[in-house]
Structure 1
Amino acid sequence: MTEELDFETVSVHTLIVMVLDQEIPVKRNFVKVVIQVEDCNDHSPVFLSPRYEASISNLAPAGSEVIRVKALDKDTGSNADISYSLHSGNIGNIFSIDSKLGSISVSKPLDLQPQDQFHLTVKAIDQSFPQHSDFCSVHIHIRISDQTPPTFPSEEYLTEVSESSAPGTPVVTISASSPAAVQYGIESGNIKGTFYINPYTGMISTHKYLDFENCDTYKLKVTASTTAGAMSKTLVHIYVVDDNDNAPVFQQMEL
């Protein structure tokens, strides 16, 4: 050989070999020699891009595809077979990847995750010997859908109010976090309309005079809803504090 062989450039070399004697007249003959160059694993996989960007809704169900990465290998046959894996950044195994297709999918509910961005490193490795590999980064942003229900910081609220409180007295303010504007309402438990909730601030105040002897506990079911129709509920327990507002009364006026 006068130079190195390269399967990817020329995989077959066809030679015509001549043989001749030294007599006169010269006699000669020819033979065709076909040389098949075997491929060896001399190339590494290379991603089409070193960095991928993707976004997906926080309400996307498990199994939803986020993005598909792709690497190419200049080798052929089994030397070019590529397997993909998530090398790092997959906190809590939130995502999975198809080892053959390079498709990254959601494997766990995203609305339960505290973070809104993930930075994954994907590895592509060929299947021959010696093995070669390449890496790329995948940055995934979690979009908060307007269909996401508002989130209350607590499942229940407990508070007290004096029975001598005048109408309009603030009792407690509840709040729910949401990417969209929230409106509050009292769904049930508001006996005789005793309390009022500001639909925009979530502040609950007395709407009527209270009477401990008549009702000492209220359990309000409060809703927080968005214009898109997403809704969450919480319970507000209000305990009325008794005041010394009743004089003792004899059962009999005369003995």
Structure 2
Amino acid sequence: MLEESRPSTKVSVSEVTVEVLDLNDEVPTFRQSYKGSVKENVPPGTPVLVHPSISAVDNDSGNNSVVHYSLGGSGSELFAISENGAVVFSPQEPHAVLDRERKEKYDLYVTATDLGNLSSSTYLTITVEDENDNAPVFQHGPLFVLLPETSKPGTKVIQVIAHDADAKGINSEIEYYITSGSKNDIRIDRIT
């Protein structure tokens, strides 16, 4: 048997690198909604405590994954959000204040937008926490009472009523005291 001769094959190898370019096709997304809180009467620049921190994920790469945040909804002009998702009380009007007795909650939405204008939104609820900034107010003017001289000790003379505009809890609890004029002849119940 004769072997056939084959022509020798020459091979050349070259390495080729293929780079897949990222298209901006992923929408930045939030994994949850957020809740934050801030005390009333704080100065501008005060951070809103938001836990966990606001963050959107964009699965694109490079510049296509850069996300910018913005706030919307009624009251959003009182707050600002930074590129890292931090929220601060930053009113557009210099004399604006947070007053819990006027508005105790702001229902806003956060929008994350990437450089290709793809965006999504989630909710941010900011609760304004109460401070003891309101004095109790009597529900009546000065009172004049005629007390018969034959009244027995312990006789109820009158009941005074005051209300406090602060939130329910320790900031709105009221105690009553006689501050002058009784000479220990008249007593008042501290609570009622």
Please give the range of the TM-score, normalised by the shorter of the 2 chains: 0.5 to 0.7
Question: Identity, % of aligned pairs?
Answer: 22
- Cα pair 1:161 1:171 within 8 Å, conserved: no
- Output the TM-score relative to the length of structure 2: 0.65
Find the residue that maps to 2:64 and give its secondary structure: helix
- Cα pair 2:71 2:80 within 8 Å, conserved: yes
Richer in strand (by share)? 1
Looking at CA atoms only, which structure, 1 or 2, has the larger radius of gyration? 1
C-alpha distance 175-87 of structure 1, shift in aligned 2 (>3 A): closer
Q: Amino acid of the residue matched to residue 182 of structure 1?
A: I
Cross-structure match for 2:107? 119
TM-superposed CA distance for 1:38, in Å, is 2.0
Alpha-carbon distance between aligned partners in 1 of 2:35 and 2:162, rounded to the nearest angstrom: 38
TM-superposed CA distance for 1:160, in Å, is 6.8
C-alpha distance 36-56 of structure 1, shift in aligned 2 (>3 A): same
2:128 is the alignment partner of 1:142:
yes
Post-superposition CA distance 1:94-119 (Å, at most 9, x none): 33211x11112233643355122221
Structure 1 residue ranges without an equivalent (≥5): 1-22, 202-255
Pairwise mapping of residues 19-168 of structure 1 onto structure 2 (< 5 A)? 24-49=7-32, 51-58=33-40, 62=44, 63-67=46-50, 68-90=53-75, 93-98=77-82, 100-107=83-90, 109-111=97-99, 113-127=101-115, 129=116, 131-145=117-131, 148-152=132-136, 158-159=141-142, 161=144, 165-166=146-147
C-alpha distance 197-75 of structure 1, shift in aligned 2 (>3 A): farther
- Cα pair 1:41 1:75 within 8 Å, conserved: yes
TM-superposed CA distance for 1:84, in Å, is 0.5
TM-superposed CA distance for 1:170, in Å, is 4.8
- Cα pair 2:100 2:130 within 8 Å, conserved: no
Q: How many residues align?
A: 165
Find the residue that maps to 1:79 and give its secondary structure: helix
After superposition, the CA RMSD in angstroms is: 3.6
Post-superposition CA distance 1:103-158 (Å, at most 9, x none): 1223364335512222111000001x3x211111122333435xx1444458x975
Cross-structure match for 1:16? none
